[in-house]
Structure 1
């Protein structure tokens, strides 16, 4: 068992900044009916909800019930009817739907009540509770979808309003809020709501820091445009949708396969949530053990994250970045890949650096040094040296190096440089793949020739700008 300790310590150290920054934040988590029906994985997921709660995250859970409703209707000899991705709810089916949703809600409450609070000091008011407090209620006002495209959806509804004041009050008193996919009208009618769309509405109304969409195959299926990205900006996510839409449902003809259409529907919901003020929306396959914790408490997660703001930031380095740059380049200096730089040298030259930041951590850096030779007999030689290009080992296949190189080229070109050169001992082929050519020492500016370290014997590569 001892051999696992380093992994646990490393993970905990990596998770610590997220635990601290997310304490007190509101997460709205949608669990599809398929997730609830997965008897083998649901207990672990409930335990993860309890763990998030004990770490100070304010949780709002929105549950689906589609497969359970379909099974209930089937057992009653009724076939579920759908149009444009929405269930058609008739009066005879509404009673069965209410029974099914109530059963699921009480089951989730019972499971959460079995989980320990894990807060030995008790709550802020001085009381001690040996179980999690869960609250449900009439938080959602609904209205009928009505007749659309000639289809009467009956008691199928959509969200009209969310009682955010009541939800916030319960969250502030250490409750987990559980919301079912039913909406009440001011006249006492009950409407069957689309659960993931309800989760989007709740997250946008609060607004939540995160919206998490937990599902199975609909999230894990690879979209036609290739592998699922790990993190994407809001603008990119919207461009990936059919026609660039953020509509509530993708038409069935647009994509082949219900699972793929489901992925696009969830991606559309993520876009809507982020546009409404939710900073980050996560699409997670619940079948990955511990997926929720891995997504929330690790830098790269295991799902798809849509960000309202940029997740990776490429910017000019600041004096406060020096510690992060040192952590990044020290292993490469020890291997002899980079020339050693003292902290004092970095402090003096930090304005030469660009850094790539992911979620507060420096994951890549590069610097450019102008080298200009003037001569009475000819035009000045204007070149820039690319130096200290370093990418964290976890991101060397993530195009970080390409992005930094392109940024350095753009910047030096704007400053009137005609060529970019680099001295390298280990990565000649990478630079040649990116447009650099082998050159001789004599082709460098004279000032740089005099500084050349023959003991290092670095290769000279030049790229015209």
Structure 2
């Protein structure tokens, strides 16, 4: 920190907002760290005004501990090179017919585009987002390809299909902390090179790496239906859209997303390139900025495991600090983790939890540590979590649930709890009751 730097009072006034922003994004950062993201950027996005910021945002993901494979397209760049060479682009079945002259333009365009991206990732000027990043960008012959061949009488010549991805080599580079940059060109054992679809390359890499996310930055926005941006889509909804969409580019992206999800990629994000910061907004805010595609669009309620301890602590610590919940140490939480149920967002974040504790009365159990992330209040998640706890309680012979609260009495009353006295508690709970906290006690027959 430069103590002699001039004070920006507007910035100082917004410090609280910045602090809140980091606190709100920290669960996403924890959830994404160490995960593999395959990011595909179209040639159109590279020509967009926000390209520099977009590359810097991708570099930020790398700095935050995400394993990044970046695949780039080059269609408009190739078309421009062909035009300068006096060659008319030819497409059949949505595939570029690639003769030797066209392939030369492909090589030149792809090479130039790759250098532009590497240059941006190598920037390190003071007062720039890239200062101190020191990102190592690695490329190589990771893609083995074969010719598309002759289809319906058309010889596609040097247009190719992916034969194999050297996922072991890519993983090795990711493990070493490098950002892997892959171009849409593949190579054959005979020494030939082939023009590939960057979407196919990104999808195949994501599948073979079992990546947590495939991110497609290829359109001005995410998936749109008319003028409406669709925030989340299940695979069934994707299939419906594939049958009705008239947008060729969107159809190609939906096909890539569907294939990736069916083959084991957990999440596919379709993000626009027009809005500055769209990638970060998609990954680090609840609302997102594009379209999230996944097999299951609903939150999952399940028993907690030891791996959930960190997420639960992130969730309950603010409530403990404000006095809503009783403080629990990490050690205590680890010892009692089998008593907890958690609500897991489709993005993998823990957004809710509750614990069920036994009492000396075998027919009674205590519902405790009920917490829902503030961004998800009002969506019925707490009610569904309560239903799950009640179901589990009945399965163990419990017919009466007890709860203590200092702040949320109305929530329990609205869900069938009635207020009782300390003397109505089982003996072990009476002896442990904290009169200084003076929590209200509620009971519900289930």
Q: Same fold (TM over 0.5)?
A: yes
Please tell me whether the aligned partners of residues 312 and 356 of structure 1 are also in contact (alpha carbons under 8 angstroms): yes
What is residue 272 of structure 2 aligned with on the other side? 285
TM-score (norm 1): 0.67
Secondary structure at the aligned position of 1:211 is classed as strand
- Structure-2 separation of matches of 1:421 and 1:12: 36
What is residue 187 of structure 2 aligned with on the other side? 184
Cα deviation code 1:316-344 (max 9, x no counterpart): 4879578557526437755xxx8x6888x
Equivalent positions of 1:225-374 (< 5 A) are 227-229=230-232, 237-242=234-239, 253-258=243-248, 260-272=250-262, 275=264, 281-296=268-283, 302-304=289-291, 314-316=302-304, 323=313, 326-327=316-317, 329-330=319-320, 333-334=323-324, 353-357=340-344, 362-367=350-355
Matched, 1:202 2:211: no
For these two proteins, the number of residue pairs brought into alignment is 419
Cα deviation code 1:373-397 (max 9, x no counterpart): 99xxxxxxx7877665431211114
Stretch moving more, 211-220 or 153-162: 211-220
Mark the runs of 5 or more structure 1 residues left unpaired by the alignment. Answer: 121-130, 230-235, 244-249, 375-381
Matched, 1:97 2:106: yes
TM-score (norm 2): 0.69
Q: CA deviation at 1:64?
A: 0.9
Q: CA deviation at 1:138?
A: 3.3
Q: CA deviation at 1:196?
A: 1.3
Q: CA deviation at 1:35?
A: 1.0
Equivalent positions of 1:115-264 (< 5 A) are 115=124, 118-119=131-132, 134-148=137-151, 153-164=156-167, 167=170, 176-206=179-209, 208=211, 210-217=213-220, 219-221=222-224, 227-229=230-232, 237-242=234-239, 253-258=243-248, 260-264=250-254
- Structure-1 separation of matches of 2:103 and 2:397: 71
Please tell me whether the aligned partners of residues 324 and 361 of structure 1 are also in contact (alpha carbons under 8 angstroms): no
Cα deviation code 1:235-277 (max 9, x no counterpart): x94444427xxxxxx86x443444653552242144156x1xx
Aligned equivalent of 1:393, options 374, 399, 407: 374
What is residue 409 of structure 1 aligned with on the other side? 390
Please tell me whether the aligned partners of residues 223 and 230 of structure 2 are also in contact (alpha carbons under 8 angstroms): no
Mark the runs of 5 or more structure 2 residues left unpaired by the alignment. Answer: 1-10
Secondary structure at the aligned position of 2:57 is classed as helix
How much is the aligned-residue C-alpha RMSD, in angstroms? 5.2
Q: CA deviation at 1:198?
A: 0.2
What is residue 233 of structure 1 aligned with on the other side? none
